[in-house]
Amino acid sequence: MPLNSVNTNTGAMVALQSLNRTSDDLAATQKRISTGYRVADAKDDGAAFAVAQRIRSDVAATNSANQQLGGVKGLLDVSNTALENVSGTLSKLKEVAIKLADGTITAEQRTQYQSQAKELTNNVQSFIKDASYNGVNVLNDPATLPVKVVSNGSGSYYTFNGSKAATNIFNAVSGANAWTRGDASAALTKTGALGKAITSTLTTLNNFGSYSNYVDSQITYNKAILDAQESGLGALIDADMAKESAKLQSLQIRQQLGTQALGIANQAPQSLLSLFKG
């Protein structure tokens, strides 16, 4: 190839190739800065992008599981509140039963105490019926039992049993407004109506407290998993903005120099005109 040619400008071709590479690198750097990602799509790094998409799916699944657990936490909190009120009301009913079991009270006093017992049992029934959250009542709705809830991003289930509180607690004491001295005395025994109702309430409270502790622990664990997943995802695809900023400035200078070098190379054939001047 002739060194002095107006048809082939080797210097310009080399300068143009260098400028094109710089422009490509500059476009890639600007993309990283504008998106914040080293791997924004499959064109940047197909393997890393595929892994990132899988991790994003895992993050979304774990977030969804925690949202469901949040709903269950609300349900259990409502149920525990209802049971605590039932327990307190049964304690008051026990006080009234003690008085009904006393053979020295008058008929008028017995009627008054029976009236108090009626109000207390009505309260027990109300607490149980009103223990609903998002349309679900695990104290008075056998159709919802047992309860199965997704507990993590892998789709595993946590299952817990509800309580037929209307049957095991309210029904046991629903006739308290008609208790005679003997009825009240029998109800106060460990195996009596009131004794069974109190035992059932406390047992259910203990169970539901355990359920709540599990759900709280699982939510905390899922949050830790999310932090780890997001940290790993960031390490995989996030851009080092400080590094990219420095690289951007370097490439911008290289682009300017490359443009100037191309301009100089394009002027080289002009020097050949001097050979034809007389």
Higher pLDDT, 265 or 26: 26
Token couple for 122 = 């009505």
**Residue 30: closest CA among 253, 257, 251:** 251
**Percent of the chain with pLDDT strictly greater than 90:** 78
Q: For 139-143, what is the mean pLDDT?
A: 78
pLDDT mean over 96-122: 96
pLDDT of residue 116: 97
% of the chain with per-residue pLDDT over 70: 97
Nearest-10 crossing angle of helices 10-35, 241-267: 160
User: Confidence band (pLDDT; 50, 70, 90) for 8?
Assistant: confident
218-277 pLDDT, tens digit each: 999 999 999 999 999 999 999 999 999 999 999 999 899 889 888 888 887 777 777 777
With H, G, I as helix, E, B as strand and everything else as coil, classify residue 206. Answer: helix
pLDDT value at residue 66: 95
Task: Label residue 1 by pLDDT band (50, 70, 90).
Answer: very low
- CA–CA dist 219, 195 (Å, integer): 36
Q: Is the pLDDT of residue 144 over 70?
A: no
| pLDDT per position as a tens digit, 156-215 | 999 999 998 999 999 999 999 999 999 999 999 999 999 999 999 999 999 999 999 999
Question: Has residue 136 got a pLDDT over 50?
Answer: yes
Residue 278 is predicted with a pLDDT of 58
pLDDT at 2: 53
Where exactly are the structural domains of the chain? 47-236
Looking at residue 228, its pLDDT comes to 96
| One CATH from 2.40.50.140, 1.20.1330.10, 3.40.1110.10, 3.40.50.720 for 47-236 | 1.20.1330.10
Contacts 24+ apart (CB under 8 A), 208-212: 208/76, 208/79, 208/80, 208/83, 208/163, 209/80, 211/76, 211/160, 212/73, 212/76, 212/77, 212/80
Q: Give residues with Cβ within 8 angstroms of 87, minimum separation 6.
A: 198, 201, 202, 205
Banded model confidence at residue 120, pLDDT cuts 50, 70, 90: very high
Q: Which residue has the higher pLDDT, 8 or 233?
A: 233
User: Coil, strand or helix: which one is 139?
Assistant: coil
What number is the average pLDDT over the span 114-142?
93
Residue pair 4/272 in contact by the 8 Å Cβ criterion: yes
Distance CA 163, CA 161 (A): 7
